[in-house]
Amino acid sequence: MCEKRFPTLTALKQHQLCHSTASDFICDTCGKMFKQRQSLQRHARGHNETRIECDICKKMFTRKDCMKVHMKSHQPKQVCPGCGKSMHNLQEHQKICQKSRSKDYACSVCGKSFLEKRYMREHQRCAHAFEGLFTCTNCNKKFMYRATLLRHMPHCIN
């Protein structure tokens, strides 16, 4: 058996049926056998519903949303230019793929690029907020701290 745990004895017994080899429930329409009554009932509903056939491979579906998902499998796969993965729905993938998004926001101080303006602003606030506050009058070198400038001054040769 497996290592799964269940909150109730009823849930455990229900799960144990999937490990059983007995198939006590048989579909009257097609003869398919099931271990659980709910599985048979779900299956049987499919016999009564309108079926939609795939024009390409002739596979049958009882739900339009399942057919729509299936149809994507017949489209050629596209390769994401950012990460190199191939998939049927490139547009959806690119919404979440960080590597494929263009970095349109460049820091005016150092030129580092960012995906979003807010990330660029955060970078500027953290990385460049104190940049160049203290400048050596001899060589124009910039320092973040006055103490560092004062340590530099006696050694500065212009």
Q: Which residue has 């058996």 as its token pair?
A: 1
Q: Does residue 11 or residue 99 have the better pLDDT? A: 11
Residue-wise pLDDT tens digits, 13-69: 777 766 666 667 888 888 888 877 888 887 887 777 777 889 999 988 877 888 888
Tokens matching residue 26 = 């048989």
* Res 131: pLDDT: 65
What domains can you pick out in the chain, each with its CATH number?
Answer: 1-48 (3.30.160.60), 49-101 (3.30.160), 103-158 (3.30.160)
Name the 3-class secondary structure at 19.
Answer: helix
| Confidence check: pLDDT of 158 > 70 | no
Q: Strand, helix or coil at 77?
A: coil
pLDDT at position 101 is 65
Nearby residues of 55 by Cβ (< 8 Å), 6 or more positions away: none
Question: pLDDT digits over 127-155, tens only?
Answer: 777 666 778 889 888 777 788 889 999 98
Q: What is the pLDDT of residues 80-114, one digit of tens each?
A: 877 888 887 787 777 777 666 667 788 877 888 88
Tell me if 144 sits within 8 A of 135, measured CB to CB: no
